[in-house]
Each structure stands twice: as C-alpha cells, then as structure tokens.
Amino acid sequence: MRDKCFLSGFVLFIFSALIAYAIPGYMQGKEASSVSGIQNINYHVNKATENPVLDSGFSKDYLTVDKDSLLSFFNRAYQAYPALPKGLLEAISYHTTRLKHRTPGNSISCTGTPKIFGIMGLTEGGMGINNTLNIVSRISGYSIEELKSSPQKNILGTAKWLNHSYLNNKANLISVIHEYLGFADTSGNAEFLKNDFALQIIKSLHDGVRLNGIVYSEPDKQYEAERFFAPDFLDIYQNKRVRFTIDKSTYSSDYPGATWVGTNCYSSRNGTPVTDVVIHDMEGYFTYTVYTLFQNCDYEVSAHYCIRSNDGFIVQLVSEADKAWHVGQGNPYSIGLEHEGFADDPDWYTAAMYQASAGLVIDITQSGYGIAPTSCYYGPSNPMYQIDPQPEYIRIKGHCHYPFSTHWDPGPYWNWYLYYDLINDTAHPDLVIMAMWTEPASPSAEEFVDLYVEIKNAGDETASNISLDYRIDGNIVGTDTHNSLDPGDTQVEFLNNYVFDDPGDYEYCVYIDGVDNEENTANNSYCIGVVVSNTTGIYDTVQEQDIRVYPNPADDFLYYSVQGTEGIIRVEVSNKLGQTIKIIEKPNGKIDLSDMPEDLYFVKFINLYEQTRVFGIIKK
C-alpha cells in the first residue's frame, strides 16, 4: 500500500525486535500442523489455534469473558429490555468480536477500519462511520471508559440503545441492525453491505449462536431470511456466479465465485506483470472493512478481494488488471486478499474461509500469470509482531513475508501447511495425537490404571504400519501396533493395568514411532501430567459401583450402567478446555450428545456424596 501506517508499524516492529533480542527464545513457538487436502479441514483449523506464541508472549487485544458470566450479562439485558428479540445481542457480538471484549491497543489496521471496543463492537467512528460509543454513552448514561472497560456495561449500554432504536423503528429489526452499523453513506454499495450484515444476523437468530462447542443462543426458526429480504437479494448467495453492482448483476470476468462491490481506490499497474498473491487479515470484521475500503481513498488503501470468516463469502473491490494498495512497494505485481478477523484471535480463521480463499488462489494460478500453486509458502506461522521475510520465488505468501513490510499479518494462527495443501491438493497420511487421559482420571498409588490415547489420521491417505510407545517419565512401559487407519478415522488405544508404585507427579507420553509415507511428524508425540495420590480418596465409592460407559466413540447417545448401592444424581459434560457445556440432573442411563460437534469430551458422574468419576469419550 502507499503506507501511511509505516511509522507506527516501524516503531512496533523495532520494539518487538528488541524484546526478542532481550529474551532469547521468547518469540519461538511450535510449528503449525502439516495437513493434507480438504477432507479433515475442521480438525486442522482447530489444531492451528494451539500455537503458544500468543499465549506465552505479548498480551492480546481482547479479554475472554467466561461463558456463565457472559450469558448472565446477556440475560440481564433482555430482562431490562424485553422488547429486544432474544439472541440479537449474541448474534451481533458473534459477527463483530466473536464474543470477545475487544480492547484494541497493539493491533495496527491499515485498511482504515476504525477500532472496535467491547463485547458489542462499538467504535469511536471515522472513515464514514458514526461514533457509536458516543451514541451509547449518551443513551445509557455510561461513560466512554466504562463502555470500553466493562463487558457488562458494554452489553447493557448497547442493549438500551438497540431497544431505543427498536421502539423508534416500530419493531423493524432490519432498520435496527442498519442503525447499529452507523454507516453515514447511503449509496448503493453501502446499502448492499448493510443488508448483507443484516442477513448474517438474521441467519444467526434462526440458527442460534455457537462458538467452540458452547451454545450462546438457541435457534429461533421464525427468523426465516425470506421474511426480511427480497428474492433477488437472496439470489446473490444462491448463485455463486452472480456479481452484485449498484445497477445490475453480471458474471465475473476475474473470479465467478466473487460478488462485485467495487471501489475507486486503485491505480494502474503500468504494464507490470502479476507475480504474487498476498494474504492479509483485516484487523476488523467483514462489513466495516469492506465499507471503509471503498469509502476511503484518502487513506490510500484497498485490496482486490475480501473474504468473510463464517461462510467464505467473497467480494471483489479491484479488478485483477488494476493495482490495489495493500503491500507497499509490492503493489504493482501482486493481488491482495483480505481475510476477516484479528490476527490475535484464532476463532476467525475457519474452514469455510480457508476453503474459499484457497479456491480463489487456485483460480489465480490458472489465470495465465505464471504463478505456480507449489510456490505457496509452506512452513510455520510467523510470531506475533514479527515479520518473516521469504525469498522471491515464494509467490503466494503473507504480508509478513516481505522484507520491506511493517505488518505481521496474517499472524501466528494462520495455518500455512493447511493452506498449501488446499491449494495443491496433496495427499499424505497425517497421524495426530488428539487426546490422552487415564482411567481413573486421578489415580492412586498401587492401583490399576488404564492409559488411553486417541489418534486420528488427519491426512488424505491411509496410514499403515502404525507403532505406538507408551512412556512414563521417559521410560517405555508398553507398545502397541495398528495395521492401518483410513483418512478422517480416529482410534482409541490403551495400555491397561499399569501401576504407579508411589504417589507423586508423573509425565505420561505417547510416541508414534512408525507410519508409512507420513510427511509431517510434528504432532506424533504428546505428553500430559498425571498426579498420583497416596490414597484412593473420593474416587473409591464411585469406582466400586463399576460404572460402564458405552459405546465409546459414541454417536448421538452415550449410555451407562451402574452397579452398587449409591445412585448417580448428576452428570456433567465438559469440553477439552474444561468448560462445562451440559449438566444432567437425575440422569436415566442415557446422555444426549446429538447437539454436540465431533470432539473429545469428559463426562463426570457424581453420586449422592458428591463423589465423582470421570471418563473421556469421543463424539463421532
């Protein structure tokens, strides 16, 4: 781009370099997974979020509010303003902040998108967008600083504003959603973007809001898109070959899967051939970013394409024949792709986005530019706040990969291994250790313990001749073999009747020592800590009841049977993050898993004396 963010980016880059120099190894993190093909993309998207670079280093520009607190804040808002449709606040928050309390500080957005604040994505305005923080402050009575710092006041203040709008607009929900965006422009393109955003909110009201296996709002089937939008508008999403313009719909000469929005913010390539594709993240959400990109030529920034997170919807703003302003001195020879989201939050990088983006890049590599799909960068993600210059022959790469760059997008959570394989359709087995646990979960010394491991073939080729080593504190205590594992399949293996002789802290590890034709072995080992107690403690009574859980892996229902004198009064189901997602009072031997996505879960059985036993189960 004609980079007006150069100075702020340069200062931040120098600061990060000094930190990295002062603390050796501070910015180092494990490589992202190598993946193969599209078949198991959701697993790899989730796996890419486990990069520890962010978690162990600089602070993120958001606060995560625990589920129970967040739900209570939303419920209080609906109690205070009962006219508001249930689920509206959660839907807006999901599409603007992914239910995070945004506290912008370190992030640099050179798309011109105003920074957003809080759970509800309020803004200080600018670039054709109204100052919604001021509006909410005036209506709610909360100060600007309270709205920025308090998740509860951010939600309650926004709810009061939207309720005020809802009543003033005579319960016209689309008008309320438009007012939330705060667009000053009323041109055809702005109207399209407002309706596009409103459609996403209506869909979330209809389908409910769920993130990382947690349900934040329930589906409400009365919110059918056809009730709110004309058929010709909805046809844009049904027919991927249609492009939207102010006047008419036409076929795309560049990419049939894109919807044309357009901007005047571009210039001529002056005959310079296209040789590169540049991957960016927006540091903002889709609607605001696209709006500011076509609004804001004075800021001298634009991109050829923008890609939405939740569904992979693509808009085109600049023709590939023209020069967009997105990567400084690399503008004349590159095509720029902006991806919705924030580089410090992995929840934006979805399977739908990766697939849509890769499909677009494949089309570019087949358009006569001479860009080979194998010239895509294939390696670990760059650490936060650091650029990672790559050689010129790497033609499909991130903003962070240019030596003259002052930006580090798409950041540490972008999975380059996955992206390369989607573009190149390569096939390899890729064995990954997904989970490990022991039964019982908290063993005692001198009792029999079963050591479990779940492995998955996340590649697109059958894995053969699989060999596993079980290790305790580095010593091999058992081995296992498996003939083959098909792509996408999981297998739970276990070593039974292991005995810890003494109480203490132990490290339980599993190593995948052999598999034919596996290219990536980065995820072939994993360890967990095991605390062994001196007595059997509270687990005795429940274990003596001989709980049997079946089947495991399970489909829609998990069954259990209990022998013994004390009944089970409660069952709690938690995800891998330890978050409780389901509580069943007075269970009857059957646990409904039908509303839960495929993953590993932990099921805790609790008896009359609050004694517990935990099982790891896999939902297929």
Residues 285 and 408 in one domain: yes
- The answer to the question of residue 112 being in a domain is yes
Residues 392 and 521 in one domain: no
Query: Which pLDDT score, from 0 to 100, does residue 447 have?
Result: 82
Here the CATH number for the domain that contains residue 271 is: 3.40.80.10
Q: Which of 71-75, 108-112, 481-485 has the highest mean pLDDT?
A: 71-75
For residues 205 and 80, state if they share a domain.
yes
Domain count, the chain: 4
Residue 387's closest CA among 429, 438, 330?
A: 330
| Structure tokens that stand for 418 in this block | 């996955």
Task: State which H helix or E strand residue 397 sits in.
Answer: strand 396-398
Is residue 530 domain-shared with residue 560, that is, in the same domain?
Answer: no
**One domain for residues 317 and 416:** yes
The answer to whether position 53 is within a domain reads no
CATH number at residue 490: 2.60.40.10
Phi/psi at 426 (5° precision): -80, 155
Tell me the C-alpha distance between 492 and 42, whole Å: 20
Mean pLDDT of 317-326: 95
Residue 57 lies in a domain: no
Q: Are residues 85 and 195 in the same domain?
A: yes
Claim to verify: residue 74 and residue 196 sit in the same structural domain: yes
Q: What is the dihedral of CA 484, 528, 351, 408, to 10 degrees?
A: -130
pLDDT of residue 2: 41
Contact 564, 546 (CB under 8 A): yes
Residue 20's identity, in one-letter code, is: A
Residues 146-154: contacts with CB under 8 Å, at least 24 apart:
147/117, 147/118, 147/122, 148/103, 148/117, 148/118, 149/103, 151/63, 151/65, 151/69, 151/70, 151/73, 151/101, 151/118, 151/119, 152/73, 152/76, 154/101, 154/117, 154/118, 154/119, 154/120, 154/122
Entry pTM: 0.65
Q: Return d(Cα 21, Cα 18) in angstroms, integer.
A: 5
- Are 27 and 57 spatial neighbours (Cβ–Cβ below 8 Å)? yes
Q: Write the CB contacts of 30 (distance below 8 Å, at least 6 apart in sequence).
A: 51, 52, 380, 522
Residue where a domain stops, chosen among 507, 537, 567: 537
Which CATH number is 122's domain given?
1.10.530
Residue 250 lies in a domain: no
* Mean of pLDDT over the chain: 81
Say whether both 271 and 192 belong to one domain: no
* CATH code (residue 581): 2.60.40.1930
Please tell me the predicted confidence (pLDDT) of residue 324: 96
User: Measured between alpha carbons, how far is 567 from 561 in angstroms, rounded to an integer?
Assistant: 11
Q: Decide which of 375, 396, 424 is a domain's last residue.
A: 424
222 and 114, same domain (yes or no): yes
Q: Give the separation between CA 610 and CA 119, rounded to whole angstroms.
A: 36
Which region among 11-25, 348-362, 387-401 has the lowest average model confidence (pLDDT)? 11-25
pLDDT reported for residue 81: 96
Nearest in space to 415 (alpha carbons), one of 94, 58, 106, 36: 36
Do 368 and 498 sit in the same domain of this protein?
no
The confidence band for 11, taking pLDDT boundaries of 50, 70 and 90, is very low
Residue 249, domain member (yes or no): no
The answer to whether position 565 is within a domain reads yes
| Mean pLDDT confidence for 438-442 | 83
pLDDT, one tens digit per residue, over 121-136 is: 999 988 888 999 999 9
User: Is 471 in contact with 509 (CB distance < 8 Å)?
Assistant: yes
Among 424, 449, 470, the domain boundary falls at: 424
Domain match, 417 and 461 both: no
Contact 492, 553 (CB under 8 A): yes
The yes-or-no verdict on residue 198 having pLDDT over 90 is: yes
Q: Which amino acid appears at position 598 of this protein?
A: E
Both 271 and 380 in a single domain? yes
In a domain, 466, yes or no: yes
Strongest mean pLDDT among 6-10, 447-451, 469-473, 602-606? 469-473
Query: Does residue 608 form part of some domain?
Result: yes
Task: Show the domain range for 77.
Answer: 62-227
